Amino acid sequence: MTRPRLQDRIEAARLQREAHGRRRVRRVVARRDGVGCEVDGRWLIDFCGNDYLGLGQHFAVVDALQDAAARHGASGVASHLVSGHHAAHEALEQELAQWLGYERALLFNSGFAANLAVVQAMLGDGDVCVQDRLNHASLVDAARLAGCRLRRYPHGDVEGAIRQLRGHPEGAAMIATDGVFSMDGDIAPLRTLALVARAQHATLYVDDAHGVGVLGPEGRGSVAAARLDATQVPLQLATLGKALGGHGAAVLGDAAHIQHLEETARPYIYTTAMPPALAAASLAAVRLARREQWRRDKLQESIAHFRAGAQQRGLPLMPSDTPIQPLLCGDDRSATAMAAMLEERGFWVAAIRPPTVPEGGARLRITLGTGHDRLQIDALLHVLDQARDRAAAPRPAAEPA
Ligand SMILES: Cc1ncc(COP(=O)(O)O)c(C=O)c1O
């Protein structure tokens, strides 16, 4: 029998990752206080998290979590369709639907699961899912799992999307796109995509994981910022684990779409509901996000300040008006070396390498939040400038043996 041994395959893959400098290691955070955190006994300023509005540690959010946990316990108990659907879930779904302008919302344990659910429940054999090439991995996997055809167009290329749709005139069609691209920070051309979807009888699905809370009036996200609504974008994803400082996600749509998901989507049906205490925390966070415009204003000021400082120093930032401000490094080793230098100086910035980004697109993914102040941003710019120069400096010749 010549069956390959899984152990050999795993070992070969590990060696290959090591040879390419692509090992991925977790770091242990011992403590958090605002944007500060303790890692390996050192205090770092976190410039890579997604708690853009600083709500994750807000006293009202934590208070809601503690209060609901004391009353309802720590468990989700069962799936929503068995006995797990709690009044706290119901209240959060209603608040999200009302905020984002949809008939209904449906909660999921993660954005990843929600994306799998939407594409799998809506499309199947003979259908087509047309996606931006830089979409989040969960959308790509969702189309693969759904068994439909997955067709990808070059980043932001609406003509490419039209070509793909015209090439597949039979079967149902969906255009799925990130609203804000998670590793690039730029925003999808949503208005044009909505026109294309209408002309091609396709459903537009916007994954607004990084836009909700941050962009648009009342923080309603990239769809509202583009002056679109539920008629043009029938399905939308909002995540609770980023700007809303919690955990989980919700899909928004009209009653018919949501009922279909609720009754047929496997990642919805066959999983335990999120603990009601998490839903209560997110409800408090949504109310704060809606009400406290100053958080978005401060974030926008920080983004403008950071970009102006980077431009003055000639740092190669990618074009982005959102809290995600990537600095292109090109090769993996420069990205990891710069991240290590930043850490030495007290800043935590993630080096993002392929396959998360395309080959040659390694970068520092710098994220800004309401919790960062000007001094911290100026200090980061100063250290980025030095790290860039050090990473670019020729390495000293090896000592003769
Ligand atoms: C664009 C996008 N969609 C979906 C997800 C998945 O969301 P979650 O972290 O809630 O699983 C992410 C998170 O990284 C994301 O960036």
In a domain, 183, yes or no: yes
Ligand 1 pocket: which of 139, 182, 236 to mutate (most atoms <8 Å of CB)? 182
Q: Are residues 305 and 258 in the same domain?
A: no
Closest approach atom of ligand 1 to CA 239: 10
Q: Are residues 369 and 249 in the same domain?
A: no
- Tell me which H or E stretch contains 92: helix 87-100
Q: What is the pLDDT of residues 28-83, one digit of tens each?
A: 999 999 999 999 999 999 999 999 999 999 999 999 999 999 999 999 999 999 99
Q: Are residues 307 and 368 in the same domain?
A: yes
Q: Are residues 281 and 336 in the same domain?
A: no
CB 234 within 8 A of CB 253: yes
**% of the chain exceeding 90 in pLDDT:** 92
Q: What is the pLDDT of residues 271-289, one digit of tens each?
A: 999 999 999 999 999 999 9
Give the pLDDT band (50/70/90) at residue 180. Answer: very high
Closest approach atom of ligand 1 to CA 113: 11
Q: Are residues 216 and 323 in the same domain?
A: no
With a cut of 50, say whether residue 399 has pLDDT above it.
no
Residue of 25, 46, 19 lying closest to 35 (CA atoms): 46
Q: Which residues line ligand 1 (CB under 6 A)?
A: 110-112, 115, 136, 138, 178, 182, 207, 209-210, 239, 241, 249
Ligand 1 pocket: which of 136, 247, 274 to mutate (most atoms <8 Å of CB)? 136
If you measure from the C-alpha of residue 394 to the centroid of ligand 1, how many angstroms do you get, rounded to a whole number?
38
If you measure from the C-alpha of residue 209 to the centroid of ligand 1, how many angstroms do you get, rounded to a whole number?
6
If you measure from the C-alpha of residue 239 to the centroid of ligand 1, how many angstroms do you get, rounded to a whole number?
7
Q: Are residues 298 and 375 in the same domain?
A: yes
Q: Are residues 358 and 388 in the same domain?
A: yes
Query: Given 256, 291, 326, which residue is the final one in a domain?
Result: 291
With a cut of 90, say whether residue 129 has pLDDT above it.
yes
Contacts of 79 (CB under 8 A, 6+ apart): 269, 270, 271, 272, 273
- Tell me which H or E stretch contains 46: strand 42-46
CB 276 within 8 A of CB 74: no
If you measure from the C-alpha of residue 91 to the centroid of ligand 1, how many angstroms do you get, rounded to a whole number?
23
Give the domain extent around 41: 28-53+293-392
The tally of domains found in the chain comes to: 2
Task: Give the pLDDT score at 395.
Answer: 54
Q: How much is the average pLDDT of 94-119?
A: 98
Report the predicted TM-score, pTM, of the whole model to 2 decimal places.
0.96
Q: How much is the average pLDDT of 169-178?
A: 97
- Distance from chain centroid for Cα 148: 24
Ligand 1 pocket: which of 108, 112, 177, 240 to mutate (most atoms <8 Å of CB)? 112
With a cut of 80, say whether residue 397 has pLDDT above it.
no
Joined tokens for residue 27 = 């770091």
With a cut of 60, say whether residue 396 has pLDDT above it.
no
Any idea what the CATH number is for the domain that residue 116 is in? 3.40.640.10
If you measure from the C-alpha of residue 47 to the centroid of ligand 1, how many angstroms do you get, rounded to a whole number?
18
Q: Are residues 279 and 304 in the same domain?
A: no
If you measure from the C-alpha of residue 379 to the centroid of ligand 1, how many angstroms do you get, rounded to a whole number?
29
Any idea what the CATH number is for the domain that residue 300 is in? 3.90.1150.10
In a domain, 5, yes or no: no
Q: What is the pLDDT of residues 226-255, one digit of tens each?
A: 999 999 999 999 999 999 999 999 999 999
Q: How much is the average pLDDT of 5-22?
A: 92
Give the pLDDT band (50/70/90) at residue 392. Answer: confident
Closest approach atom of ligand 1 to CA 240: 10
If you measure from the C-alpha of residue 210 to the centroid of ligand 1, how many angstroms do you get, rounded to a whole number?
8
CB 143 within 8 A of CB 290: no
With a cut of 70, say whether residue 138 has pLDDT above it.
yes
Task: Give the pLDDT score at 401.
Answer: 36
